[in-house]
Chains A and B, each alone.
Chain A
Amino acid sequence: MRPAEKTRQFIKNASINSNPEVNEAVLKNLFDELDKSKDIPRDAPEPNIWRIIMKGRLSKLAAAAVIIFAALLALNFFDKTSGIVWADVVKRLEDIKTVAYKITTDIKGMPGTPEGYTTHITQDVTLSYEQGAVRIDSSLQVPSGTRKLHTYILFEDRVLVTLMPAAKKYVEVTIGDDEQMAKMEEEKGDPVTLLKAMLEHDYTELGRKTIDGVKAWGIEVSDPKLGIKMGPLISGGMFEETTVQLWVDERHKLPIRIKATGSSKDGQASMETVYDNFQWDIKIEPALLKPEIPDDYELLTQGKWETGNEGEEIIDVLRLFVEYADGKYPASLKTMTVAKAIAPALKKRFPPGSPEPSKELLARFMKVDRVGMMYTTLEKDGKDPAYYGDKVSAESPEAVLFRWKIDEDTYRVVFGNLRTEDVSAEKLAELEALSNIKEK
Chain B
Amino acid sequence: MDLQSLVASGKKAKRETEDYINHHIHDQTKGWPVLSRIAKDFASKWESLVLEDKLLVWKFKHGSKDALRHIYEKYRDDLLRIAAGLLNDTSTAEDIVQDVFVVFVRSAKQFHLTGSLKGYLARCVANRARNVNLSRRRRQTVRMDDIEPIASDFKRPDQWIICSEEFTKLSSAMTDLPYEQREAVILHIHGGMKFREIGKLQDVSGKTAQSRFRYGFNKLRSILGIEVAK
Residues of A within 8 A of B (CB): 3-4, 6-8, 10-19, 21-23, 25-27, 29-34, 37-38, 157-159, 172, 295-296, 299, 302
Contacts and interface: CB of A to CB of B under 8 A. Distances in A.
A299 B108 CA distance: 11
Interface of B: 26, 63, 65, 68-69, 72-73, 76-77, 80-81, 84, 98, 101-102, 105-110, 120, 123-124, 127, 152, 154, 156-164, 166-167, 169-171, 185, 189-190, 201, 217, 220-221, 224-225, 227-229
B215 to A, nearest CB: 13
B80 A18 contact: yes
Nearest to A13: B166
A26 B160 CA distance: 9
B124 A16 contact: no
Contacts of A172: 110
A33 B105 contact: yes
B23 to A, nearest CB: 10
A31 B170 CA distance: 34
Q: B-side binding surface: helix, strand, loop or mixed?
A: helix
Contacts of B123: 295
B228 A7 contact: yes
B169 A25 contact: no
Which of A12, A16, A31 counts the most chain B CB atoms within 10 A? A16
Contact of A7 (B72, B160, B190, B224): B224
Contacts of B98: 26, 29
Contacts of A16: 77, 80-81, 84, 161-164, 167
Contacts of A295: 120, 123-124, 127, 201
Nearest to A299: B107
Given A37-B106, A172-B110, A31 B65 contact: yes
Nearest to B97: A26
Q: A-side binding surface: helix, strand, loop or mixed?
A: helix
19 contacts: A4-B221, A14-B169, A15-B77, A16-B77, A16-B80, A16-B162, A16-B164, A17-B162, A17-B164, A18-B76, A19-B158, A22-B157, A29-B102, A30-B72, A30-B101, A33-B152, A34-B108, A157-B26, A158-B26
B187 to A, nearest CB: 12
Contacts of A302: 109-110
B162 A299 contact: no
B158 A21 contact: yes
Contacts of A15: 77, 81, 164, 166-167
Given A10-B224, A18-B160, A295-B127, 5 more contacts: A10-B166, A14-B169, A17-B161, A37-B106, A157-B26
A7 B161 contact: no
A21 B189 contact: no
A19 B160 contact: yes
B228 A34 contact: no
A4 B185 CA distance: 13
Nearest to B201: A295
B149 to A, nearest CB: 10
Nearest to B83: A16
A37 B124 CA distance: 20
Contacts of B84: 16
Contact of B77 (A13, A18, A38): A18
A172 B166 CA distance: 44
A18 B169 contact: no
A10 B189 contact: no
Contacts of A33: 102, 105-106, 152
A379 B158 CA distance: 61
Contacts of B108: 34, 37
A14 B80 contact: no
A13 B69 CA distance: 25
Given A10-B227, A33-B152, A302-B110, A27 B166 contact: no
Contacts of A11: 170, 185, 189-190, 220
A64 to B, nearest CB: 20
B170 A34 contact: no
Contacts of A22: 156-160
Contacts of A19: 158-162
A34 B65 contact: yes
A7 B167 contact: no
B189 A12 contact: yes
A34 B77 contact: no
Contacts of A296: 127
B156 A26 contact: yes
A7 B220 contact: yes
Which of B120, B127, B228 counts the most chain A CB atoms within 10 A? B228
A3 B162 contact: no
Contacts of A31: 65, 68
B26 A14 contact: no
A240 to B, nearest CB: 37
A11 B189 CA distance: 8
A343 to B, nearest CB: 27
Contacts of A159: 26
Nearest to A1: B228
Given A11-B185, A172-B110, A30 B68 contact: yes
Which of A10, A157, A158, A172 counts the most chain B CB atoms within 10 A? A10
B69 A34 contact: no
Given A16-B80, A26-B101, A38 B63 contact: yes
Contacts of B220: 7, 11
A351 B80 CA distance: 42
5 cross-chain pairs, A with B, having the tightest CB-CB distances, nearest first: A14-B166, A29-B154, A14-B170, A7-B221, A14-B167
A103 B152 CA distance: 42
A65 to B, nearest CB: 23
A15 B73 CA distance: 15
